[in-house]
Amino acid sequence: MTPRFLGDTAALLGRSLRHILRSPDTIITTSVMPIAFMLLFVYVFGGAIEQGTGRYVDYLLPGILIITIASGVSYTAFRLFLDMKGGIFERFQSLPIARSSVLWAHVLTSLVANVISLVVVVLVALLMGFRSGAGVLAWLAVAGLVILLTLTLTWLAVIPGLTAKSADGASGFSYPLIFLPFVSSAFVPTRTMPGPVRAFAEHQPVTSIVDTVRELFAQKPVGDDIWTALAWCVGVLVVAYGLATVTYRRKIA
């Protein structure tokens, strides 16, 4: 990374963050839906769901964190779409700045906004009774995995942000991502699901990520779950980053 790239990215990041500060409703909206799901499942459905011993909010929180990220990255696609349609990219091309800094500024903005939303969700979970005896290292491991997942989904969001024909199309890509936790171990154990659904749930990335975070919070051995989760995140990140950068070069060529 050259000093020019870092400086340009920092300047554009500041621009994007100022937009968020002027419209904090973005972060509020991102947090509202996951919190609503958490309230609904804990206080309405929680008594009927058998997930083992312990508080249901403890079991539920890892999946809610993933829904928060999936909801948040949709705004990255939306902001990219607006910049593309508003001619912002063409203006940047006329300036002596590193071209890749434009994408990285959007990605880092997504990371900052999602971290704020995740903190809000965790604070609400604490008010609802969430407790964890995990130490500093376990919390750092959770933070690292969540940040890696945010980067992965953000680069995935860049692709529809650059290629969508409408604002709804840009942000709508996140709906399948929000749905995935419902067909995983996020809300109920996979053993309670019928055969084909269980097979899908146990072999899709959300389950390994949720199980890893849950085990870290509960101070249990993570086993192979963490390596499966990391493999999914890194694999999708590499593919998404490659496709996003190729798409970006074609768009600005």
Q: What pLDDT score does 89 carry? A: 63
pTM of the shown model: 0.89
Q: Does residue 229 carry a pLDDT above 60?
A: yes
Report which DSSP code applies to 94: T
Instruction: Compute the average pLDDT of residues 230-240.
Output: 95
- For the segment 175-195, the average pLDDT, to the nearest whole number, is 89
Interatomic CA distance for residues 171 and 30, integer angstroms: 12
- Is the four-CA dihedral 50, 53, 56, 59 of positive or negative sign? negative
Do 183 and 201 touch, CB atoms closer than 8 A?
yes
d(CA 193, CA 190): 5
Q: What is the model's pLDDT at position 81? A: 84
**How many Cβ atoms are within 10 Å of 218's Cβ, its own excluded?**
14
How is residue 170 written in tokens? 């840009």
Total number of residues shown for the chain: 253
Say how far apart CA 201 and CA 86 lie, in whole Å.
Answer: 40
Q: Which percentage of the chain shows pLDDT scores above 90?
A: 38
Q: Say what the pLDDT of residue 97 is.
A: 67
| Cα-to-chain-centroid distance, residue 70 | 4
Higher pLDDT, 102 or 136: 136
Tens of pLDDT, residue by residue over 15-60, are 777 777 776 666 677 788 899 989 988 888 766 666 666 788 999 9
Alpha carbon of 185 to those of 130, 170, 204: distances in Å?
18, 28, 10
Domain ranges across the chain:
3-252
Rg of the chain over all Cα atoms, to the nearest angstrom? 19
Per-residue pLDDT, 29:
73
Query: What digits encode the pLDDT tens for the residues 64-122?
Result: 999 999 988 888 888 888 877 776 666 666 666 666 777 888 888 889 889 989 999 99
Q: What percentage of the chain carries pLDDT values higher than 70?
A: 85
Q: How confident is the model at residue 170 (pLDDT cuts 50, 70, 90)?
A: confident
